[in-house]
Chains A and B, each alone.
Chain A
Amino acid sequence: MGELTPELARYRDEIREVAAGYGLDFYEVFFELVDHDELNMIAAYGGFPTRYPHWRFGMEYEQLSKSYRYGLSKIYELVINNDPCYAYLMRSNSLTDQKLVMAHVYGHCDFFKNNLWFAHTPRKMMDIAANHGARIRRYMDRWGVERVEAFVDRVLSLDNLIDIHSPYIKRGTGPRERAQEPVVDVPRIQAKDYMERYINPPDVLARKRKDIEDRQRQRRGVPDRPARDVLRFLLEHAPLEPWQQDILAMLRDEAYYFAPQGMTKIMNEGWAVYWHSTIMTRHVLDASEVVNYADAHSGTLATRPGQINPYKIGVELFRDIEDRWNRGKFGLEWDRCEDPDEKRRWNRATDEGRAKIFQVRRVHNDISFIDEFVHEEFANAQKLFVWGYNQSTNQYEIVSRDWQKVKRSLLDALTNFGNPIIQVVDANHQNRGELYLVHDWAGADLQLDYAQQTLRYLFDLWQRPVHIETREGGKARLLSFDGQEATNREITASRAPKDIAAPPAGKR
C-alpha cells in the first residue's frame, strides 16, 4: 500500500475542488495506491483489511485472483463507507483511469454521507470491523478455530434474515389490541338461582378465571408478533453461549452495515457515474485522454441482453430526472397532456433539474427510485424488456416490452434486496419449543435443497426442531429438520400471519 504519487495527489485536489464546487458533500477521502494482489485481498474482505478471519474470504480471494490472472475481470474501484472514506486505486491503472476512479469515488462518498438509507450506518466501521476481528480471533484462541468458524458459518448462512427497515421504524411491542383478546368464559355448574351462591361461589369463579387467563397468556407465545429480524430473535431467545451471542451480535451489525449498499446499488452507482462523467468531461479530462476515457466509461455502462447494468440504468434515470425537471416535465399539466408531439417539445424552463437530483439522492432507495421515476418513455428509450423461461422451447425469451410489466419485474427483483422475506411466527410450535418460520411467498419459490441445508444450520443454533413454511408450485409445504431427519411435506393449515399474506390497503 502506498500514498498517492505527487501527480495523482495534484489531480485529487483538483477533482475534490471541482466536486465540492458542484455541491457534493463528502467525508475526507483517503486514497491508497495498491497493486492488484493487495486490491484483490482487500476486496475479498469486503473492503476491510482488518476483518475477522474466515475461509470465505480466502475463497473470494482465490476467485478474484484467478479471474484477474485470466484477464476476465479487474476491480476498478473500491470505496468504503466510513469517516474518513477509504478508497483504493490500482497502481497499474493509467492516469486517465485513476482520474475517472477518483471522480467516481467522490460521487460515492457524497452518496454515503447524504443518502437517508445510510444514515444509521456507523461511520467508524473500519475500527469496528477491526474490533470484531480482534474479538473473534480471541474466541478462536479460547474455543478453537474450528468451533468458532463453524458457528460463524451458521450465522452467515442466516445473515440475510434481517429487517432492513427496522432502523427506521419503531415496531410496536405493546400488547395486542383489545378486540383480539378472547373472551374468557368460565365454566359454571348449572344451578337454581337461590343455590348459585353455594354451587358456584364467586371466589372460586374468580380463581378459575385467573387460571384460564394465565394459561392463555402463556399460550400467546413468543414472539408476540411475527419477527422479521430473525437474527435478533435468535440473539434474544436461542440457547447460546455468551461468546456465541457476541459473535451473532457482531455479524448482525455487519449485515446491517452492508444492507443499505444492497438497497441502493442502482442509485449509488448511477450517482457516481453521473459525477465522474460530469467532472471528467467538463473539467479534468485532457484532450489527449478522450479516447481512453470514452473506452473506460463505455465499458462501465455496457449492457448485456439478459441483464440490467445498475451503472447504466442508474445514470440514465438520473439524467432523465434532471432533464424532466429542467424542462418542467412533471406535475398535473404534464400528466394530463396526451399529445405526444407537444410532450416532445415540452419546455417550461423550470431549471430545477440539478436541485431535484440532489433531493432524489437524499431520500430515495432503489425501490422508490424505480417506482417513482421510471415511466413509459424512459422504459422504451432504454429498450427495457421482461424475459422469462419458455418451457416449450426450453429457452429464455423476451416476454414483454410493456413498461408497467418491466417496472413491476424490476421492483420484484429489488424487494428485500432480492432475498425472500422470512419471519419467525412461533418459537413454541406444538408447545414443544420448536421454531416455526414462514416464508412470505410472493411468486418465487425457494431453492429447496439450500433451504434444507440452511434449516440444519438453524437447528444448530436453536437446538430444537425447526420448520419453515413456504410454497412450491403454489402448494403450501413445510420443510422441517428435527436433528436427525429432514422432511418436506404438504400442509393444509398455514400459519402465515394474516397481515403478511394480504397487506391491508393503506397500511404501507
Chain B
Amino acid sequence: MTRKIDTDHSRFRDIVRGKIKQDLKKYVSTGEMIGRQGKRLVSIPLPQIELPRFRFGKNQGGGVGQGEGQTGQPVPGQDGDGEAGESEGKHSLEVDVTLEELARIIGEELELPNIEPRGKRAIRTRSGQFTGISRSGPQSLRHFKRTFKEALKRQIASGTYDPDDPIVIPLKEDHRYRFLSTREEPQASAVVIYMMDVSGSMGREQKEIVRIEAFWIDTWLRSQYENLEVVYVVHDAAAHVVDQHTFFHLRESGGTKISSAYELCLRVIAEKYPSAEWNIYPFHFSDGDNWSSRDTERCVELLRASILPQVNQFAYGQVKSAYGSGQFKRDLDQAFRGDEKVVTSDIQDRDGILPSIKTFLGKGR
C-alpha cells in the first residue's frame, strides 16, 4: 500500500528535480555542488523552494535571550561570520540528491543518449540468491514446500496417498534443500583517463573549469557503468600519474609537450586497462599550446595509430586562457576531420561547461 505521505514526498522530490533542472546552468557554472559531495549524496541548497511570505527580514533589531553575560558582550553560540546561533536556524533549505538522480537530471536536460558499451567484457559473478534446489544440504535450508511436494508425488505414485486422510510424510529421499546459485552477469567496466596541461599558462580559473567539468563527466559515466575507474595524468614537458587532489591543485611552470601525456596514457592502458575488457575514455584538457608543431605531429600519430583503436572516444577540451594560442584544437580538428571518435570542444568560460559536456557525451559512445 502506498502511504499518503509517500505521494506527497515524491511530489516534493519531483519539484526539487524540476528546480535543479531549471537552474542547472547556475549550479554547473558556480561549481556549487562539488564541494558538497558526500559519498553518494550531494546536498544542494534550494532557497527558492520555500513558499514566499510577507515576513520580517533578517538582522532585524534582535531578540530576547536568556543566560549569563555582561551588556556589550557577544551572545554566546554564534558562529564566526556573526550569525546568531539559533534565531536564524533556518537559512536555506538543503536537499539531498543522490548522484544517480543528478546524473539522470543532467542526462535529461542535455538529452544525453545512453551509452552502448562496447562488446561484452569482464564477466562478473554475483554470488546471488538462494534460488537453486538440491537433494542435500543443511537442515536450516530445507525447503518445506518442495519437500512435501516430492513426498506427495512419491506417495501418489506408489499409491499410498489417501485423499480422505491426507497425511503426507516425507522420507529422507524426499528432502529438498535450497542452495546458493551464482549467476553470471556481464559487467561493463570503464576507465576515464583525465590528462591535463599544468604548465604555467593554465591558471586557477582554468583548472576550476576542468574540475567542474570532470565532476559532471564522472557523474554521468558512473550512472552508465557499474564499475568506473579514474586515472589522473598531469603533464608539462613530462607526464605523471597523480592522485585526484594533486591533479586539481598542482601548478607547474615550464613548457608543454602533449605527446608525453599521450604516451603515458598508452602505457597506462597497456598495463592496467586492456581494451578488450575496458571501455576507455581519455579526456585531455589544455589551453591549446604545444611545444612545437613536430610534437603535435607526434600526438596525431599516437592518436591515430595507437590510442584511437583502443578507446571508445577521445575527447579534447580546450580551456581558454590568457596565454594559450588555441592552436592544438585547430590541428586536431584538421587531422581528424570526419572521425567520430575524436571530439573536441572549446570552453570559453564557466558558461561553456554545459555545452562542452553535451559535445563530449552527446554521441553515446
B127 at the interface (CB under 8 A from A): no
B85 cross-chain contacts in A, Cβ below 8 A: 304-307
State the A residues within 8 Å of B (CB): 41, 44-45, 49, 53-59, 61-62, 66, 145, 149, 153, 156-158, 160-161, 303-309, 312-313, 382-389, 393-401, 406, 409-410, 412-413, 418-420, 422, 439, 443-448, 450-451, 453-454, 457, 468
B68 cross-chain contacts in A, Cβ below 8 A: 305, 383
Q: By the criterion of a CB under 8 Å from any partner CB, how many residues of chain B are at the interface?
A: 51
- CB distance A305 to B69 under 8 Å? yes
Tell me, rounded to whole Å, the shortest Cβ–Cβ distance linking A50 to chain B: 8
Interface residues of B in 51-76 (CB under 8 A from A): 51-76
- Given A306-B84, A397-B72, A447-B57, the answer on whether A62 and B77 have CB atoms closer than 8 Å is no
User: Would you give 14 A-B contacts (Cβ < 8 Å), ordered by A?
Assistant: A58-B13, A156-B51, A158-B53, A305-B68, A306-B65, A307-B63, A307-B87, A385-B66, A387-B84, A395-B74, A396-B84, A397-B73, A413-B63, A413-B64
B87 cross-chain contacts in A, Cβ below 8 A: 306-307
- CB distance B66 to A384 under 8 Å? yes
B12 at the interface (CB under 8 A from A): yes
- CB distance A385 to B69 under 8 Å? yes
B70 cross-chain contacts in A, Cβ below 8 A: 398
State the B residues within 8 Å of A (CB): 3-5, 7-15, 49, 51-78, 81-87, 93, 95-96
A446 cross-chain contacts in B, Cβ below 8 A: 54-57
A158 cross-chain contacts in B, Cβ below 8 A: 53-54
Given contacts A58-B5, A446-B55, 6 further A-B contacts (CB under 8 A): A56-B12, A58-B8, A58-B13, A305-B65, A395-B74, A468-B54
- Complex Cα distance, B69 from A386, in Å, reads 11
Tell me, rounded to whole Å, the shortest Cβ–Cβ distance linking A423 to chain B: 11
Which of B13, B60, B63, B68 has the most A CB atoms < 10 Å from its CB? B63
B84 cross-chain contacts in A, Cβ below 8 A: 306, 387, 396
- CB distance B77 to A406 under 8 Å? no
- CB distance A396 to B78 under 8 Å? yes
- Complex Cα distance, B57 from A398, in Å, reads 20
B78 cross-chain contacts in A, Cβ below 8 A: 306, 395-396
- CB distance A306 to B61 under 8 Å? no
B9 cross-chain contacts in A, Cβ below 8 A: 58, 61-62
Tell me, rounded to whole Å, the shortest Cβ–Cβ distance linking A391 to chain B: 9
A410 nearest CB neighbor, chain B only: B64
Interface of A is mostly: mixed
Contact of A397 among B11, B67, B74 (CB under 8 A): B74
Contact of B8 among A54, A394, A400, A444 (CB under 8 A): A54
**6 cross-chain pairs, A with B, having the tightest CB-CB distances, nearest first:** A388-B62, A58-B12, A58-B8, A453-B52, A58-B9, A447-B57
- CB distance B53 to A450 under 8 Å? yes
A393 cross-chain contacts in B, Cβ below 8 A: 74, 82
- Given A58-B8, A62-B9, A305-B69, the answer on whether A386 and B63 have CB atoms closer than 8 Å is yes
A394 cross-chain contacts in B, Cβ below 8 A: 81-82
- CB distance B64 to A384 under 8 Å? yes
- Complex Cα distance, B63 from A400, in Å, reads 11
A453 cross-chain contacts in B, Cβ below 8 A: 52
- Given A157-B51, A157-B53, A457-B52, the answer on whether A395 and B82 have CB atoms closer than 8 Å is yes
A156 cross-chain contacts in B, Cβ below 8 A: 51
- Given A55-B11, A304-B85, the answer on whether A388 and B66 have CB atoms closer than 8 Å is no
A395 cross-chain contacts in B, Cβ below 8 A: 74-75, 78, 82
- Complex Cα distance, B9 from A454, in Å, reads 24
- CB distance B53 to A445 under 8 Å? no
B53 cross-chain contacts in A, Cβ below 8 A: 157-158, 160, 450, 454
- CB distance B66 to A383 under 8 Å? yes
Tell me, rounded to whole Å, the shortest Cβ–Cβ distance linking B82 to chain A: 4
Contact of A419 among B15, B55, B58 (CB under 8 A): B55
- Complex Cα distance, B52 from A45, in Å, reads 19
B59 cross-chain contacts in A, Cβ below 8 A: 389
- CB distance B64 to A420 under 8 Å? no
- Complex Cα distance, B137 from A302, in Å, reads 60
A45 nearest CB neighbor, chain B only: B5
Which of B55, B70, B85 has the most A CB atoms < 10 Å from its CB? B55
A160 cross-chain contacts in B, Cβ below 8 A: 53-55
B56 cross-chain contacts in A, Cβ below 8 A: 418, 420, 444-447
- Given A306-B77, A307-B87, A396-B84, the answer on whether A55 and B12 have CB atoms closer than 8 Å is yes
A444 cross-chain contacts in B, Cβ below 8 A: 56-57, 60-61
B95 nearest CB neighbor, chain A only: A62
A304 cross-chain contacts in B, Cβ below 8 A: 65-67, 77, 85-86
- CB distance A396 to B54 under 8 Å? no
- Complex Cα distance, B67 from A396, in Å, reads 14
- Complex Cα distance, B57 from A453, in Å, reads 14
Contact of B65 among A59, A66, A385, A457 (CB under 8 A): A385
Tell me, rounded to whole Å, the shortest Cβ–Cβ distance linking A373 to chain B: 15
- CB distance B65 to A153 under 8 Å? no
A387 cross-chain contacts in B, Cβ below 8 A: 62-65, 75, 84
B82 cross-chain contacts in A, Cβ below 8 A: 389, 393-396
- CB distance B62 to A450 under 8 Å? no
- Complex Cα distance, B51 from A145, in Å, reads 18
B63 cross-chain contacts in A, Cβ below 8 A: 306-308, 386-387, 409, 413
- Given A401-B71, A454-B54, the answer on whether A396 and B5 have CB atoms closer than 8 Å is no
- CB distance A55 to B52 under 8 Å? no
- CB distance A454 to B12 under 8 Å? no
- CB distance A53 to B8 under 8 Å? yes
Tell me, rounded to whole Å, the shortest Cβ–Cβ distance linking B64 to chain A: 5
- Given A161-B54, A406-B64, the answer on whether A41 and B3 have CB atoms closer than 8 Å is yes
B60 cross-chain contacts in A, Cβ below 8 A: 443-445
A62 cross-chain contacts in B, Cβ below 8 A: 9, 12, 95
Tell me, rounded to whole Å, the shortest Cβ–Cβ distance linking A385 to chain B: 6
B14 cross-chain contacts in A, Cβ below 8 A: 55
Which of B12, B63, B64 has the most A CB atoms < 10 Å from its CB? B64
- CB distance B49 to A59 under 8 Å? yes
- CB distance A397 to B75 under 8 Å? yes
Tell me, rounded to whole Å, the shortest Cβ–Cβ distance linking B203 to chain A: 32
Tell me, rounded to whole Å, the shortest Cβ–Cβ distance linking B30 to chain A: 19
- CB distance A58 to B11 under 8 Å? yes
B4 cross-chain contacts in A, Cβ below 8 A: 41, 49, 53
Contact of A58 among B10, B51, B55 (CB under 8 A): B10
- CB distance B71 to A400 under 8 Å? yes
Contact of A447 among B15, B55, B75, B77 (CB under 8 A): B55
A400 nearest CB neighbor, chain B only: B71
- CB distance A306 to B86 under 8 Å? yes
Tell me, rounded to whole Å, the shortest Cβ–Cβ distance linking B94 to chain A: 10
Tell me, rounded to whole Å, the shortest Cβ–Cβ distance linking B51 to chain A: 4
Tell me, rounded to whole Å, the shortest Cβ–Cβ distance linking A244 to chain B: 17
Tell me, rounded to whole Å, the shortest Cβ–Cβ distance linking B318 to chain A: 39
Tell me, rounded to whole Å, the shortest Cβ–Cβ distance linking A387 to chain B: 5
- CB distance A306 to B75 under 8 Å? yes
B13 cross-chain contacts in A, Cβ below 8 A: 58
- CB distance B74 to A396 under 8 Å? yes
- Complex Cα distance, B61 from A444, in Å, reads 7
B11 cross-chain contacts in A, Cβ below 8 A: 53-55, 58, 145, 149
- CB distance B54 to A153 under 8 Å? no
Tell me, rounded to whole Å, the shortest Cβ–Cβ distance linking A184 to chain B: 39
B86 cross-chain contacts in A, Cβ below 8 A: 304, 306-307
B15 cross-chain contacts in A, Cβ below 8 A: 55
- CB distance B54 to A420 under 8 Å? yes
Tell me, rounded to whole Å, the shortest Cβ–Cβ distance linking A454 to chain B: 4
B67 cross-chain contacts in A, Cβ below 8 A: 303-305, 383, 385
- Complex Cα distance, B75 from A386, in Å, reads 10
